[in-house]
Amino acid sequence: MGKLKRRRTKKIEEIDNEIKNAVNEYKNEPNRYVMISKKIGKGFTSKQIRQRWLSHLDPSICHEELNEDEKNYIIEWVKDYKNNNSSDKICWTKLISEMNSKFGKLRSENKNIVLLGLSVDNP
């Protein structure tokens, strides 16, 4: 690994730690991501900080690979959802909640299973 990549990785880790600490500090504030954005600066918007927290840093998120049961559940859930709803929009937050209830793991990448290759129409 080159010096530049090590420096960049270290910088990302530092920023991630700042975000984690600030989330704990402002956890009860309704506009905490705006406050965190102002506190850490570095050109990150509140939306970017929120997304980083929800997708990568939140300790309640499971980062293990999905197993086959979980992948199949997502595919079947999306098929059923599409059949029972007239809208083309899928309620990913509902799927995340149901996956958490069924498998006991909170995940942020569920829609990626559908969007990045596992066909809902032809599994």
Q: Where are the domains of the chain?
A: 3-57, 68-115
Comparing 5-19, 21-35, 43-57, the range with the smallest average pLDDT is 5-19
Please answer whether residues 114 and 80 qualify as being in contact, where contact means their C-beta atoms are separated by less than 8 angstroms: no
Please answer whether residues 35 and 29 qualify as being in contact, where contact means their C-beta atoms are separated by less than 8 angstroms: yes
Q: For position 28, what pLDDT does the model report?
A: 93
In the predicted model, what is the mean pLDDT of residues 38-48? 91
- 40: which strand partners? none
Report the predicted TM-score, pTM, of the whole model to 2 decimal places: 0.65
User: Does residue 46 carry a pLDDT above 80?
Assistant: yes
- Tokens 């910088």 correspond to 11
Q: Is 37 exposed, middle or buried (0-12, 13-18, 19+ CB in 10 A)?
A: buried
For residue 64, the 8-state DSSP code is S
Structure tokens at 39: 């506190």
